[in-house]
């Protein structure tokens, strides 16, 4: 069975129906053909960060993207440092 995919606009509209529409989440979920749990999860994600609530597959929130970039930069710098340490050890050996 293939997973259904919902775009950000669909999710925002579903959340809007239960927050400002005055309808129960179970009723909206049934009308949209999704599970109650999924709708509650979307509502929580939207409540946590309304601006960046549903970034989509392959996209990250700006904070997460910055964290990913910094981790990669740290790994690169650490690798360069280790290489320089090894080179220093090799070239600092006294010839026999």
Helix (H, G, I), strand (E, B) or coil at 89: helix
CA distance 15 to 42: 7
C-beta atoms surrounding 83 within 10 Å = 10
The reported pTM is 0.55
Tell me what pLDDT residue 80 has. 96
Tell me what pLDDT residue 56 has. 67
Each residue's pLDDT expressed in tens, for the chain with a length of 96 residues: 677 888 888 888 888 888 887 788 888 889 888 888 989 999 998 888 777 777 766 677 778 889 989 999 999 999 999 999 999 988 888 776
Tell me what pLDDT residue 93 has. 82
Beta strands in the chain (DSSP E): none
Tell me what pLDDT residue 7 has. 84
Rounded to 5°, the CA angle 67-72-75 comes to 125
Query: Could you tell me the end-to-end alpha-carbon distance of the chain, in angstroms, rounded to an integer?
Result: 70
């Amino acid at each position: 069975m293939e997973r259904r995919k919902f775009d950000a606009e669909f999710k925002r509209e579903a959340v809007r129906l239960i927050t400002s529409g005055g309808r129960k989440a179970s009723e909206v979920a049934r009308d949209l053909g999704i599970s109650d749990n999924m709708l509650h999860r979307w509502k929580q994600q939207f409540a946590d960060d309304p601006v960046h609530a549903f970034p989509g597959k392959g996209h990250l929130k700006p904070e997460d993207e910055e964290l990913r970039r910094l981790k990669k930069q740290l790994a690169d710098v650490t690798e360069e440092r280790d290489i320089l340490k090894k080179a220093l050890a090799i070239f600092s050996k006294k010839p026999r």
